[in-house]
Structure 1
Amino acid sequence: MALTQSDKLKQLVAAQQRGYSLAQSFYKDLDVYQAEVKNIFLKHWLYAGHVSQIPSSGDYFTVDFDTESVIVLRTAVGAVKAHLNLCRHRGSRICLDQSGSQKSLTCPYHAWSYNLDGELISARNMPDDFARSVNGLHHVNVALLGGLIFICLSNTPLSLDSLRHDLKQPFKLFGMNSMKLAEQKSYRILANWKLAVENYQECYHCAPSHPEFAQIHAMAKSPKVFQTAKVNFSQANQDNPKFMALNRYFDLAEKGQEGYQYDRNPLLPGALSGSVGGKPVAPLLGALQEYDGGASELMIGPLSYFLIYDDHMLGYRFLPVSVDECICEVSWFVEESAVQGQDYQLEQLTWLWDVTTQADKSIIMNNQKGVDSRFYQPGRLSEMESFQQSFLDWYLQTLV
């Protein structure tokens, strides 16, 4: 008698040895992948974009993952809303472009039309008993964290109350309400999404694989050297409000609350920002008055990561296309009054994390090729992969 999907997942999770990389099935099995979409991507808050992308009524962009597509837009009264990109007639995609501006949303198939709030306003030649009021677009939950737009496809989304309370200070300090999106790049990776996320969460590979990063971030050094640098850095700045630490992430999240983490880490001596030579590349963010030679790690939900230098912020988002393909999207944010070409140059702003992500793309795809081998076996994790282990602990609990 064949195992049910639930029993198969429970057996895989029970057999996984802690302290080792995941078994091959977690990266290749379609039942595992469908459980991930259901239990992670449809239940947790995902970074969708920034309010600066939709400044005017009717402006929109889409967010796509797996088989889903979401329209994020600015309504007639200036609110930010989101709807499934799914016509209620026969299911056609409505917005075929990734971004644009429309006074209303009209399906290109049979011309059903919806207002920006998602209400059906036009449907030709329908029966007399057809009710427009119950045929509006499917609603998607939206939350604004500063200018960051998050979406959740669950009918009962996790609460963001604890996150808002605990992160109030750094959000105010870095001016999360006064940033704008300067650049956004997508990197399509032929690998399972977890390999991309795991790669982001550990710096065991940083020194050999990212020489540009290793010249700026102390994190690329050995654990002993990094911890010494971090202790000295924190003690020298103990009265600085940037130096707070919160960890409600992954398996440490409170029940019913979305996970989050914030921490401040040192750059190498002489480096002030993530750039060539560690030089400043944009005006200081928010209420900041000076550089301290550090960068803050901010993580919101299991798939959205932010790195905050004193003069710009970086955002990473990982979304699956299929079981063996994903997209890593990188966003760069600057102070909202900064003028491109005058206050910052895009090439200088994006250099470090574009070259790093291009390298990561190759690393992750080569990792997938090895995982695909019939001879692959889970390997022992290093002491520099402890945060990856936290992710794996949470992932295994979440899967079943």
Structure 2
Amino acid sequence: MNIIYSTRNFVLRLSYRFIAKPLVFLWEPEDAHDKLKSLGKFMSSNFLFRGISRLLFSYRNQRLNTVVDGIQYDNPIGLSAGFDKDGELTKMYPCISFGFAELGSFTGQVCPGNPGRRLWRLKKSKSILVWYGLNNQGAERIAQRLAKARFKLPIGISAAKTNNTDCFDIDRSIADYMTTYRAFRDIGDYYTINISCPNTQDGEPFADPDNLGKLFEAINRERVPNKPVYVKIAADMSIDEVNSIVDTVLRYKIDGMVLANLTKPRDNPEVFKDEVPYPKGAMSGLPLQKIATNLVRHIHQRAQGKITLIAVGGIFTARDAYEKITSGAHLCQMITGMIFDGPQVMAEINQGLVKYLKKDGLNTISEAVGLRNPLDERFASPLLQQHSDTGRITSITGKKAA
């Protein structure tokens, strides 16, 4: 059976690389996203098309089944927030080998996002430059539409603050988050509190531990039983900033962290600066890969394995995902790998994860969590390298920013 899956995925990869991708990349990125989203809605509109999608793109193996914070996942590879901003494709995700999907980010108010062009492909950097600004239809409208939905896989709800002013007011901002939190009280399986969107007018004020603590206090007062809460942090932070957030997460008994949001080109040594077309925005994909992995390694140590870690950034292959899992991630999320390598890539990754598990003599994916964290040594041997000038988390090779 593995030979059949491998052959199918190989044919699909070649078809995407040489036929579909060149055509899709002729469109402007946001137009391509909208067109492919419409195709996904059509393909998920009835059982026949969903069946065809499963035949082409699905892969299942019991070794990948895992339970995280009481939620059962068929596999650890999920869709990251930022792709399905209005929660319109939930019927399609199980058909293409996703184990879960995070929707949004949703905001308390309707949010048009930033004006003008908002997406660019950076082919040499294998990245997408994003300047969306949290465009979505607003939490209450989306929740009303999804209230009667029956999801076939775990669904995360990403909540962010409406991007409508450059003036930060903590009470209004917390109220905005809580509007989304309440709207999805009975929808979805977990929450992610996104405090890290790099494309908003007022920056990232909840990276401050005092502000973050007040937000967590508001959430804890209305905590939904058996529904985990995670917090998504920025990529380009100093180790001291990361540590203060981790300590705040532990103090308020938040269930885990999503690592990490987009990275800014000026801070990243992995970016081909000559292809960055716009001074604003932040990048997904390969430039985020090492940052996300090292955040997982560091926070796994800092929190002594006590919280759930979801890794997102630069996952293109099973090796990328397995590195993050063996570094301490319980789950992984992706978008950019699907854009550059095709919709069969999730099946490829899951099949590859099974091969790694067999190679390591493991029966389940949960046994691999933290297996090769170079920081672990039972949480006593920090090996993380830093930028000497900025203190930012970077590659364990010690490569410094240009």
TM-score (norm 2): 0.26
Structure with the greater alpha carbon radius of gyration: 1
Higher relative strand content: 1
Higher RCO, 1 or 2 (CA under 8 Å, sep at least 6)?
1
Higher relative helix content: 2
TM-score (norm 1): 0.26
